[in-house]
Amino acid sequence: MVAETQLQEPVTDTYTLNGIDYGELFRRCCRPTLDTTQLEDIVMFQTDADYTSHYEKVGDEPLPSSNNTNNVSRMVELPIIRLYGVTRESHSVLVNVHNFMSYFYVEKPVNFKKEHIPLLIDFFNKHLMELPPFKKTCRYVIDIDIVQITPLMLYKPNAKCDYLKVITTLPRMVSSLRSFIESGISLPVLDGDNSTRIPFPRQVCEANIPYVLRFLLDGEITGGCWIRLPKGTYSIVADKTSHCSIEVSMDYKDLDPMPIEGEWQSIGPIRTLSFDIECVKFTGPGFPNANNDPVIQIASVLHTHGDSLDSAQKFVFTLDTCDNLHGAHVLSFANEAALLMAWKQFFIAVDPDFLTGYNIINFDIPYLINRANALKLPEFTQLPRITRSKSSVRDIISSNNTMGTFENKEINIEGRILFDVYDLVRRDHKLKSYTLNYVSFEFLKQQKEDVHHSTMSKLQLGSAADRRRIASYCLKDSVLPLLLIDKLLLLFNYVEMARVTSTPIKMLISRGQQIRVTMQIYRQCKLMGYAVPSVNAAQRAANSEASYEGATVLEPKKGYHRNAIAVLDFQSLYPSIMIAHNLCYSTLVPPADASKYPAEDLTTVPGHPGLYFIKAHVRKGMLPLIVERLIEARKKAKEEMKVCTDPMLRSVLDGRQLALKITTNSVYGYTGASTSGFLPCVEVATAITSFGRYMIVDTKEKIESHFTKANGYDTDASVVYGDTDSVMINFGTKDISRAIELGVQAAAMITNQAIKPITLLFEKVYLPLLLLAKKRYAGLYYTKADKYDKIDCKGIETVRRDFCLLVQQMMERILHMLLVDLDLNGAIEFVKSRISQLLRNEIDISLLVVTKSLGKVDYDARLPHVELAKKLRQRDPGKAPSVGDRVSYLIVKGTKNQPQFDRAEEPLYVVENNIPVDTQHYLDAIKSTLMRIFEVIMPNPESLFSGEHTRFVTLTSSSEGALSMFMKKVERCLGCKTVIKVPPFCDHCNLEKRQQVMLQKLEERRQKEADYFDLWSQCQRCQGSLHNEVICDNRDCPIFYKRVRTGKVLTSMEATYQSLHLEYT
């Protein structure tokens, strides 16, 4: 591409300024034009769904109150579902769906009759009229039907019950009526001449499902599906309310969703815009603030799904001139307002379906919106697809089991999906750090130049070439998220999860795991005619008081096992238990009712004599049916993958089988989420784990009683460990082939005796196996006898994020020596060598950095990373970590009895101020870790941490830190180390001695220069230029601290050499 680099004034509606037609440039990226009068059937790939409402005028009619006699013209507020999508021809579509009303169920009281319905409607409407939100509308409850459905909770032999289906005009009325009913109500009625009241049950059903999800369920529409809009069923909206290519209105009954099979498995040509901003603080310290500090560049990369990433179109919007950037359009502007408005016009022109980047939700988008508000540019915030809607930002604190507690932003941008790679990676992957640099290196093996915000101002105030460096850096930050989406198959995985769970993609991103199972339950209940109860806060509180025992972990036989250890694994144990024993809300039998049913119809739970479930031959449970369907669907997807030759379709199928696996395994946890779950049931969770514990213990007993010398085997088998759904067996052989053979036999024996579909499979052999404790082991992993697959570690510091790299790397090397090389002596000598290097201060500081997550605002205990976060907040509030961020720190030396939490320090601050690291602290960390390994394989593991290799310690001095106030710096002679008053030599060192010292220092400086230039060259190659100064501030880079530290040492050496040179001359 040719880069446009002329300096421009603010963009106008014509887009044409000083000879450059921005309108033409942007039109190259616009969606294709079409004649809406020639449309036939519209087939679109659905990307998002939400709803709005509008007012319609109704004729003269009485207000909804039996006491009202005043007839007036009134307005009724009605909901409109908005479906967003894209056609195969890349036209964006908005479908305004009408006439779908919200509803919920409440059990019909015994004395309630059909003729009472008008009274109940009036009763509900009178209540709603008194609530402030509903003053402007005149219709609330449209109708009430009497329907027969089955309550989901507890087994009832006479399944069908009468329920009232209450239909409302607006979704928010459902919540208001639910609260009204749960508070306890009685309907006043006339029985002849007598007035009486009919009390209502407080339990309501299906009142907490969001309106959009209710629509998708009833319409059998999944997230990420194709929908056909038949010609003649829709009307084109002439006065469009959106930026979409096509906007139509239609009745919800006319939508025709396509089944997810054949050609409809594909994903539509989704447009993804990846962008990154750069902002700068010209005056004062700290991080830029949107109220005062300008946006200087916005890089944007536009990619269409199905096209290669190389074909993506790249744009960089810059403040002030900027040199050409290969492969990108560079658009320069004289002022910030022009830059922002040009980018907004570009944004509307390209009309993206997905917005991506790295941390755009918490930084880039809020900064742009707040900056536009500061510059009084209200039009800039019109980023949603709805033309009159404006984006706004709201701070929230979120919490879930996967990511912990974290600060987040909520941004409304209707019709577009915020697909922030930072959030997606944090949700799905456990990493030591979540910076873009670290994540890119972890998954792409790519690194990038990281420019500190304090350096950015110098580059911006420099030349066009300097600003090109910013543009290159900014553009790379826009390209990397797209590469990560492609590498990690994020789009495929989320679309398939949306399809499997019938959940919109946006909800999968913004909500937790439970919504996935909730949608499965609602969908299955609709098919089976069940009513799902709406659990309220009081019911959750009652559930939270109940508890259940988790999985069984057999006591491990610790040691260094030299025999082949066969590992057998139950395939999907908890889902299989649910199917085998028919465990469900709908099959749970109250203890008081158990005597009513024959014993052969009841399942009793091991260890819980009062817990019963009805068996499947009486009535199949709803949860087992869900799990069966998911397992079968996954099996089908994997079979299709085996014969699939289309790479794109194969990625779709792989995403589907992964989504099915995750959803299947989430069902058990869903029932046990007693404090925050949509539909907790401790009885079901208890039964599942109880059967799981029984299966592990029973499997151990059967294997150890069958594989014995008495039964003709060479040795008596021994189960050395068992955990949740697997057992490790020592068959007494070193022959891997024999261990595999016996493992397969044992698995088949247990499977044949188990209730279907419970299946035990041979998984692997460990030889050798280092079994340290519960959930802590490492072994050489074999699936075939001829060659090992990998070193497999569980719970050991090589795979834990909260240990420093030194411990992880030492563990990796030691495990390789013990498991692969079988070299115990070599491992011992390696440990001693690294301990000696640590005490001599020869370990690179990057290996000592510990990273931990800042999980909440206030902690009861004072923790090192929390206290450091407070320090950083005082030094520079703009750079201070927020809740949910990972904080990197070192433990430095302190005064006697100074607590560890008070000695945590930021790594770069340590390097720049030459603060001594507390080597004893790190030695203790190494010791606590290595002792667990060596205590099971050598008689005196303490000898590793004492002796000759621990006697030489290098001390460093610093002007910073707790010890500095007690230290006085003295000058010493460089020749004989005598204390002197005037450096660098004492009077006793002669000229020859001084010359020797000078030559020695010169050689040391040359060596250090060579080391520094080698590191400098590596950084230059990474930044893509061997001519520009290195300004990278990537603290996740393995050589960053080494480069800074080496540079600091070199500067000190240079000063020493100069003093020697002056002395000599």
Q: Kindly state whether residues 595 and 691 are assigned to the same domain.
A: yes
Q: CA angle, 840 as apex, 837 and 845 as ends, to 5°?
A: 70
Residue (of 593, 718, 96, 683) closest to 385 by Cα position = 96
Which CA distances in Å does 45 have to 224, 245, 261, 658, 1061?
Answer: 7, 14, 14, 21, 75
In a domain, 50, yes or no: yes
Could you say which of 760, 792, 824 is where a domain stops? Answer: 792
Mean pLDDT of 402-416: 79
Q: Kindly state whether residues 252 and 365 are assigned to the same domain.
A: no
Q: Kindly state whether residues 675 and 755 are assigned to the same domain.
A: yes
Beta bridge partners of 851: 888
Q: State the pairing for strand pair 417-420/608-614.
A: unpaired
Query: Distance between alpha carbon 39 and the CA centroid of its chain, in Å?
Result: 41
Q: Return the pLDDT at 652.
A: 87
CATH number of the domain that 832 lies in? 1.10.132.60
User: How many domains are there within the chain?
Assistant: 5
Q: What percent of the chain has pLDDT over 70?
A: 87
Q: Return the pLDDT at 471.
A: 93
Q: Kindly state whether residues 901 and 1024 are assigned to the same domain.
A: no
Q: State the pairing for strand pair 71-87/234-236.
A: unpaired
Which two three-digit tokens encode residue 970?
A: 């003295």
Half-sphere exposure of 1005 (CA within 13 A, CB side): 15
Residue (of 844, 825, 835, 807) closest to 950 by Cα position = 835
Of the listed ranges 74-88, 151-165, 955-969, the least confidently predicted one is: 955-969
Q: Kindly state whether residues 413 and 553 are assigned to the same domain.
A: no
In a domain, 505, yes or no: no
Q: What is the C-alpha to C-alpha distance for residues 916 and 862, in angstroms, rounded to an integer?
A: 22
Residue (of 98, 104, 103) closest to 53 by Cα position = 98
Could you say which of 244, 266, 288 is where a domain stops? Answer: 266
Residue 788 lies in domain: 513-792
pLDDT at 270 over 60: yes
Q: What percent of the chain has pLDDT over 90?
A: 52
DSSP 617-657: TT---HHHHHHHHHHHHHHHHHHHHHH---HHHHHHHHHHH
In a domain, 448, yes or no: yes
Q: Kindly state whether residues 405 and 482 are assigned to the same domain.
A: yes
Q: Kindly state whether residues 315 and 416 are assigned to the same domain.
A: yes
Could you say which of 434, 451, 486 is where a domain stops? Answer: 486
CATH number of the domain that 257 lies in? 2.40.50.730
Which CA distances in Å does 910 have to 608, 845, 960?
Answer: 58, 9, 9
Q: Kindly state whether residues 334 and 319 are assigned to the same domain.
A: yes
What is the total residue count of the chain? 1065
In a domain, 892, yes or no: yes
Q: Tens digit of pLDDT for each residue in 19-49? A: 456 667 777 788 988 888 888 999 999 999 9
Which CA distances in Å does 377 have to 232, 374, 798?
Answer: 42, 8, 51
Q: Is 1063 exposed, middle or buried (0-12, 13-18, 19+ CB in 10 A)?
A: middle
End-to-end CA distance of the chain: 59
In a domain, 660, yes or no: yes
Q: Kindly state whether residues 472 and 602 are assigned to the same domain.
A: no
In a domain, 730, yes or no: yes
Q: Encode 834-852: b = buried (16+ Cβ within 10 Å), e = exposed.
A: bbbebbeeebbbbbbbbbb
Q: Is residue 391 a contact partner of residue 412, using CB atoms and an 8 Å limit? A: yes
Q: Kindly state whether residues 830 and 787 are assigned to the same domain.
A: no
Q: What is the C-alpha to C-alpha distance for residues 585 and 593, in angstroms, rounded to an integer?
A: 15
Q: State the pairing for strand pair 776-782/760-773.
A: antiparallel
Q: Return the pLDDT at 1.
A: 35
Q: What's the CA dihedral at 747, 753, 755, 756 to 10 degrees?
A: 50
Q: Return the pLDDT at 540.
A: 63
Residue (of 247, 256, 240) closest to 96 by Cα position = 247
In a domain, 967, yes or no: no
Q: Is residue 361 a contact partner of residue 409, using CB atoms and an 8 Å limit? A: yes
Which two three-digit tokens encode residue 423?
A: 């959030």
Mean pLDDT of 775-789: 92
Q: Tens digit of pLDDT for each residue in 920-952? A: 888 988 888 889 889 888 888 888 888 888 777
Half-sphere exposure of 837 (CA within 13 A, CB side): 15
Q: Which residue has the higher pLDDT, 455 or 567?
A: 567
Q: Compute how many other C-beta atoms are within 10 angstroms of the C-beta atom of residue 160.
A: 12
Q: Kindly state whether residues 195 and 207 are assigned to the same domain.
A: yes
Q: State the pairing for strand pair 194-199/186-191.
A: antiparallel
Band (402; pLDDT cuts 50, 70, 90): low
Q: Is residue 117 a contact partner of residue 141, using CB atoms and an 8 Å limit? A: no
Q: Is residue 276 a contact partner of residue 301, using CB atoms and an 8 Å limit? A: no
Q: Kindly state whether residues 236 and 297 are assigned to the same domain.
A: no
In a domain, 492, yes or no: no
Q: Return mean pLDDT, the chain.
A: 86
| Farthest CA pair distance, the chain | 127
Q: Is residue 81 a contact partner of residue 97, using CB atoms and an 8 Å limit? A: yes
Residue (of 375, 384, 390) closest to 341 by Cα position = 375
CATH number of the domain that 298 lies in? 3.30.420.10
Which two three-digit tokens encode residue 437?
A: 């640099």
Q: Tens digit of pLDDT for each residue in 605-624? A: 998 988 999 999 999 999 99
